[in-house]
Homo-oligomer: A and B are copies of this chain.
Amino acid sequence: MARIEVEFFSNALVRPVTFRCVLPNDPRDGIPAEETPWNSRPMKAVFSLPGYTGGAEWGDEMLAAKYNTAIISVYGENAFYVDNASPSGKYARFIGEEMVNYVRKTFGLAMKPEDTYITGISMGGYGAIRTALAHPEVFGKVGAESSALIIHSIAHMKPGEDNGMSNYAYYNYLFGDLETIEESSANPEVLIREILREGKKMPEIYTCCGTEDFLIEPNRAFDRFLTETGVPHVYEEGPGGHDVVFWNEFTPRIMKWFFE
């Protein structure tokens, strides 16, 4: 399993950025690849977005090998994968366009939606959902865990307020006007309605959340929204909180849902 670390200049962030990739393209002599449905098709690419407080992780090598897929993980930098108010903070453009284009031209991967999936946990789950929906022509599937679907909860936040994770100034800088955020492209529901309205192909959607997770309600609400708007999707719950125990169980389930 090759491990690749890349530092390149991001025009969206106006500075060098680093990502990490595991790439199953170094088979060992004398160990014939198993005959699997995955080894007989070209390599896929999974973009993986960390949560708040998280960094770029080396993807799971066993899963990358099994499913013959690159796993590409970026640094999330607590920036919620949206274009903030600064000209040097275009994280949505970074993850949804620049990273994909860079991976395409450097590695020849992720060329088509059916080869390009996106996943993430917590802030990264929100980022994965939003990014896939903003670029349905790029990402064929999104699998999101314990997603920080916080748009409704930060809407109408007032200057000086703090919600325990961060404060008004932060959310306002990242998301813009919090009075109208629910109508903005930061809201996955807005993007879904847009895809439906424009008749674009909807990415396949999987979400999951632990029943003890403090984010269970917005995840259930998103499931209801998808059902009500007639968007096919899979939503799963399981015992557990907002922690690695849950993610250790559901990350392989997402990979299975992507590939099996």
Report whether A29 and B6 are in contact in the complex, using a CB–CB cutoff of 8 Å: no
The closest CB in chain B to the CB of A4 belongs to: B6
Report whether B77 and A77 are in contact in the complex, using a CB–CB cutoff of 8 Å: yes
Q: Which residues of B contact A221 (CB under 8 A)?
A: none
Q: Which residues of B contact A214 (CB under 8 A)?
A: none
Pairs across A and B, CB under 8 Å, 17 listed: A2-B8, A3-B7, A4-B7, A8-B23, A11-B29, A14-B52, A14-B53, A14-B78, A15-B52, A15-B77, A15-B78, A25-B106, A78-B88, A86-B170, A89-B170, A106-B107, A108-B108
Complex copy number for this chain? 4
- Given A11-B28, A53-B15, A78-B13: A85 and B23 interface contact (C-beta under 8 Å): no
Report whether B86 and A166 are in contact in the complex, using a CB–CB cutoff of 8 Å: yes
- Given A18-B18, A85-B169: A7 and B11 interface contact (C-beta under 8 Å): no
Report whether B9 and A6 are in contact in the complex, using a CB–CB cutoff of 8 Å: no
Report whether A9 and B15 are in contact in the complex, using a CB–CB cutoff of 8 Å: no
Interface membership of chain A positions 1-45, coded 1 if the CB is closer than 8 angstroms to chain B and 0 otherwise: 111111111110111101000010110110000000000000000
Q: Judge if A55 is at the interface, Cβ distance under 8 Å.
A: yes
Q: Judge if A235 is at the interface, Cβ distance under 8 Å.
A: no
Q: Which residues of B contact A86 (CB under 8 A)?
A: 78, 166-167, 169-170, 173
Place the interface of chain A in its size category. 35 or more
* Complex alpha-carbon distance, A2 and B253, angstroms: 29
Q: Judge if A239 is at the interface, Cβ distance under 8 Å.
A: no
Which residues of A in the span 132-166 have a Cβ within 8 Å of any Cβ on B? 162, 166
- Given A14-B53, A26-B102, A106-B107: A167 and B9 interface contact (C-beta under 8 Å): no
CB distance from A26 to the nearest CB of B (A): 4
Q: Judge if A112 is at the interface, Cβ distance under 8 Å.
A: no
